[in-house]
Amino acid sequence: MLDDLSIDPTVIYIFGASGDLAQRKIIPAIYDLFIKDLMPKPFFIIGLARTPLTDDDFRQQLRRGVGQFSQQSKVDDEIWNKFASNIKYIGTEYNDSNIYRSLFADIEQGWRATASRILYLATPPEMFATIVGQLGQSNVFRGKEKYRIVIEKPFGRDLKSAQKLNSALAKVFDESQIYRIDHYLGKETVQNILAFRFANAMWEPIWNRSFIDHVQITVSEQVGVGRRGGYYEHAGALRDMIQNHLLQLMCLVAMEPPTSFQADEIRNKKVDVLHAIRPISRDEVFKFAVRGQYGSGIVAGENVAAYREEPNVAEHSGTETFVAIKFYIDNWRWQGVPFYLRTGKGMEARVSEISLQFRPVPHHPFSKRVIEPNRLAIQIEPKEGIMLLTQAKEPGLVMKIKPVEMHYTYDEVFQYSSPGAYETLLLDVMRGDPGLFMRADQVEMAWSVLSSILEVWQDIPEVGFPNYAAGEWGPQEAERLIAQDGRSWLFPACLEFENKKGDGCDYN
Ligand code: NDP
């Protein structure tokens, strides 16, 4: 993330522009940047998809998305019209080479500088290679820093397919022109992990195996798969969440201090973590990884249908909607410290949280009672904040020790609503800063770490699905995974803290 906000004039081409992502995320984020006066001057957006739409139909569709999903409470007609005058639509098949030839002509006549051109692939992933191949025909991209391509997730579905897509991209673009999105990295708290770790002198000396007992990363969703059953059936929680979001969070927690905040320095340090993850052999998969699928249940007081009853999901689907994994990182800092990762849909609460559980005090003179060890919780969702659990003397005439939370949330402290992840990421693409995006080697290494689990789970289908009810914290096997080490899943700090305040944790 650069601190210089001046941006060259820009044309953004959105492939798959008639789709859900464009309407819910990309255009609302661009509109929010426009309202904040952060869009380049001038800019232009060209939407491409197969559906025949006029420019006006397209703009109306986008306006509905902005009304619903941007950070603005109301869409002002005058501002919208000004924004929408920078948008047009091209109805096309993605293999029509004529379209690609005419795509880069003439929009920028009269502009003050040569435009940057952002090619945003928001189509289903099966189309990525076709579009990249077509773009390659025009042979104008390589080495031109002003041409950038943005690729949505999923980036492949295993190591082999990711390598294939990387090599298709590498035929047309230099790595520095490729922006692979993991939208988690655009979240404010995720970026704050770096500031928290490396702008405060107190953490680094204790951020290691001597002081930390273990680390837990939980990303749980209450919602089921909803309308995305068709996609999710071929993905599952391991591909959809662990390979990208949770492994990236783990890298941020475990990485060594960077010498600078240059994009490649941060990415080098993160990929070092992936290289240091102890491989899980095929024989060890069931010892280190647990999968689950939700059955019907109750979430937030509402009846929820089983995953297998969702639209576009097979009646006997073997797709996992929950994963828990234990990793070790074989380096000096983390030797012997387990990292427990879990993620799921249809779970009790919507929470994304990283907890570092410190070792217990070596000796305490107060009583024979066990004192809860210190815990640092980095909260990403639903509220962004930091919680440190410490011990204090309870006021009174006897020495009684009680846990006390030191807690801050972003909105309370900064009184400023965080930009959406897509806003941050789009601005970085327009400024040419790839620091929050995945490099080819990171993506491939993340797939490589999971290869044995993907293979074994495919070879040995789970016969016990569904194995947790919607509204639970996942299957019993996940409890056993951590209990075998004498530990348990920590109740998310945000829920605990808010429950104590008495107003629940429902920030939705
Ligand atoms: P959609 O299914 O809505 O598809 C996007 C557009 O692609 C559609 O409007 C459609 O336009 C076109 N399309 C659909 N099927 C095909 C096909 N078989 N061949 C060619 N074009 C097709 O996807 P989303 O917008 O939900 O997602 C786009 C990308 O973003 C995907 O890679 C997805 O994984 C990723 N993503 C999406 C998220 C989301 O919340 N939606 C979140 C994270 C990532 P038309 O028919 O007009 O050509």
- 245: annotated active-site residue: yes
**Does any ligand 1 atom lie closer than 6 A to the CB of residue 474?**
no
Q: What is the mean pLDDT of the chain?
A: 92
125 CA to centre of ligand 1 in angstroms:
8
Please indicate whether residue 125, judged by its CB atom, sits closer than 6 Å to ligand 1: yes
The string of pLDDT tens digits covering residues 481-491 is 999 999 999 99
**pLDDT exceeds cutoff 90 at 141:** no
| 113: pLDDT strictly greater than 80 | no
> Is the minimum distance from the CB of 152 to ligand 1 under 6 angstroms?
yes
Closest CA to 386 of 355, 357, 351: 355
* Pocket-testing residue among 23, 61, 120, 123, ligand 1, by greatest number of atoms within 8 A of Cβ: 123
Ligand 1 centroid, distance to 270 Cα (angstroms): 29
What is the model's pLDDT at position 504? Answer: 36
What is the residue with the minimal CA distance to atom 45 of ligand 1?
A: 50
Give the architecture (CATH level 2) of 10-152: 3-Layer(aba) Sandwich (3.40)
Q: What is the pLDDT of residue 305?
A: 95
Task: Look at residue 291 and tell me whether its pLDDT is greater than 50.
Answer: yes
Compute, in angstroms, the gap from residue 41 CA to the centroid of ligand 1: 29
Residue 223 confidence (pLDDT): 92
Residue, of 398 and 430, whose pLDDT is higher: 430
CA pair distance 308, 344, nearest whole angstrom: 15
Rounding to the nearest 10 degrees, give the CA dihedral for residues 481, 485, 489, 490. -170
End-to-end CA, the chain: 28
Counting runs of H as helices and runs of E as strands, what totals does the chain give?
Answer: 17, 18
Active-site residue (options: 183, 214, 245, 407) = 245
Q: How far apart are CA 193 and CA 385, in angstroms?
A: 10
Contact 153 CB / ligand 1 (< 6 Å)? yes
Q: Is the pLDDT of residue 390 over 70?
A: yes
pLDDT band at 508 (very low <50, low <70, confident <90, very high): very low
Domain with CATH 3.30.360.10 in the chain: 185-501
pLDDT tens digits, 313-355: 999 999 999 999 999 999 999 999 999 999 999 999 999 999 9
More confident residue, 140 or 88: 88
Across residues 201-208, what is the average pLDDT? Answer: 96
Tokens, residue 22: 């464009």
Ligand 1 touching residue 498 (CB < 6 A): no
pLDDT of residue 355: 97
What whole-number distance in Å separates Cα of residue 389 and Cα of residue 5?
A: 38
Phi first, then psi: give them for residue 421, nearest 5 degrees.
-60, -40
pLDDT score recorded for residue 114:
82
Tell whether ligand 1 has an atom less than 6 A from the beta carbon of residue 49.
Answer: yes
**Which residue minimizes the CA distance to atom 42 of ligand 1?**
21
Whether pLDDT at 112 is above 80: no
**Fold of the 185-501 domain:** Dihydrodipicolinate Reductase; domain 2 (3.30.360)
C-alpha 465/C-alpha 102 separation (Å) is 51
Strand order in the sheet with 10-15: 87-91, 43-49, 10-15, 116-121, 147-151, 178-180
Indicate whether 429 pLDDT > 60.
Answer: yes
Q: What is the residue type of 355? A: S
At 5, the pLDDT band (50, 70, 90 cuts) reads low
What are the start and end residues of each CATH 3.40.50.720 domain in the chain? 10-152
Give the pLDDT band of residue 137 (cuts 50, 70, 90).
confident
Give the whole-angstrom CA distance, residue 325 versus residue 474: 12
In angstroms, rounded to a whole number, what is the distance separating the alpha carbons of residues 440 and 165? 10
Contact between residue 481 and residue 474 where contact means Cβ atoms under 8 Å apart: no
pLDDT of residue 502: 44
> Which residue lies with its CA nearest to atom 29 of ligand 1?
122
- Whole-number pLDDT of residue 228: 87
Report, as an integer, the average pLDDT of 356-380: 86
Q: Measured between alpha carbons, how far is 13 from 117 in angstroms, rounded to an integer?
A: 8
Question: What does the alpha-carbon distance between residue 51 and residue 60 come to, in Å, rounded to a whole number?
Answer: 15
